[in-house]
Amino acid sequence: MGYFDAASAAPLHPVARQALLASLDEGWADPARLYREGRRARMLLDAAREAAAEAVGCRADELVFTPSGTRAVHSGVAGALAGRRRAGAHLIVSAVEHSSVLHAAEVHEAGGGTVTQVPVDRTGAVDPTAYGAALRGDTALACLQSANHEVGTEQPVAEVAEVCRTAGVPLLVDAAQSLGWGKVPGDWSVLTASAHKWGGPSGVGLLVVRKGARFAPQGPGDERESGRAPGFENLPAIVAAAASLRAVRAEAAEEAARLRELTERIRARVPDLVPDVEVVGDPVHRLPGTVTFSCLYVDGEALLHELDRAGFSVSSGSSCTSSTLMPSHVLKAMGVLSEGNVRVSLPPGTPPEDVERFLEVLPGTVAAVRERLGAPAATRAAPESGGGLVVDAIGRRCPVPVIELAKVIGDVPVGGTVRVLSDDEAARLDIPAWCEMRGQEYVGEEPAERGTAYLVRRSA
């Protein structure tokens, strides 16, 4: 079985398993108590905090353990904003942040605050100068992920941190995807992470608030974890999380080089093996084990099911796999194709044979899904006559509107137009992305009697 979804949850590291089992016997007591069992538990908690702080590159008293990475983000954003409430109520986030950050931003906005989303380029990276332009006199906090969870693009954290530091604004970094590979550079103020992303157990997050950063914990007070993470600590899981973080860091350099070679193999060969594919994300500045691509004329859900039957567990940002029928906000912000999206995120230890078998299975799997959907061939002869056409794809979901567009574009002359009617939000992203991939001109959209009309001019 090829488990290729480590960006969602990495398999439990052997060291984490050993530490978890051992601490179940030694770390069950209340670490806040002064009797023998409590002191033993406190020693385990302190040692875990020291190990995690060393891996992050912070002081032990700056780091607390939370019940999850999401809780760390929510507590971090709320506490940092509250600590800076005299400065203002303006929050800056990137357009490709994890949903936990964007949800926290929505709550802040609903409470009367203001939020600015910084756009990204087609690789998914922000421009540090855009963060500088977004800064205002009332900016209380800026947020930026260290690396994107869907496409693997690494962000210029150090540069953005310097821009924010110069303006006196703290930067919160969501390091969930990258912390297992190394320390986050730059003069950031707050950092969050999640243990199950690096092979630790689920249910453990990290929240780091550097000395000097104004921070006011929100919610009912609690004496545990510096008042920043109320509730009884899940000590066995915390010990396992810290032990596994130390273990993966010891292996990180060698394993990163090995996984980069495997993902480079996928990035290079998929476009040769499968027609009409767009590989997305930064080709250089990206996580070692993550590669993402989108296949034209493919139902993302059907493709994932077929790959699962073939023995491969992958993820997708396609709207076809979502109950909302909306494409991934990350792919949307990047302006890339969303249909038939596949994210391969290799866990440490992935054998090259699994990658080779995936590359053998993928072409036939994509071809079978396309055939069932009636997709056009990869190339098509263009007739010399014909006029503008209307494609009525109302009520039909991705990738059907793009498939129908591709079938008829050759029936209009160069300079002629095709009007695609669709009520699927994915069309707003996928039709322009298709035009860019196939050398056609996307003219724009306009309201229609039903849904939206997307105008495409044939230029090739």
Question: Annotated catalytic sites, by residue?
Answer: 320
Q: Give CA–CA dist 424/151, Å, rounded.
A: 23
Q: Can you read off the two tokens belonging to residue 184? A: 């986050």
Minimal CA–CA distance to 193: which of 238, 236, 153? Answer: 238
Write the CB contacts of 376 (distance below 8 Å, at least 6 apart in sequence). 297, 403, 406, 407
- 3-class secondary structure for 334-375? HCCCCCCEEEEECCCCCCHHHHHHHHHHHHHHHHHHHHHHCC
Q: Are the C-beta atoms of 5 and 228 separated by less than 8 Å?
A: no
Per-residue burial over 76-109, b = 16 or more CB atoms within 10 Å of its CB, e = otherwise = bbbbbbebbeebbbbbbbbbbbbebbbebbeebe
Q: Are the C-beta atoms of 307 and 5 separated by less than 8 Å?
A: no
Contacts from 370-379 at CB under 8 Å and sequence distance 24+?
370/295, 370/297, 370/298, 372/302, 373/297, 373/298, 373/299, 373/302, 373/399, 373/400, 373/403, 374/403, 375/296, 375/297, 375/298, 375/399, 375/403, 375/406, 376/297, 376/403, 376/406, 376/407, 378/275, 378/276
Q: Can you read off the two tokens belonging to residue 215? A: 């921070």
For the chain, how long is the longest CA-to-CA vector? 89
- Amino acid type, 64: V
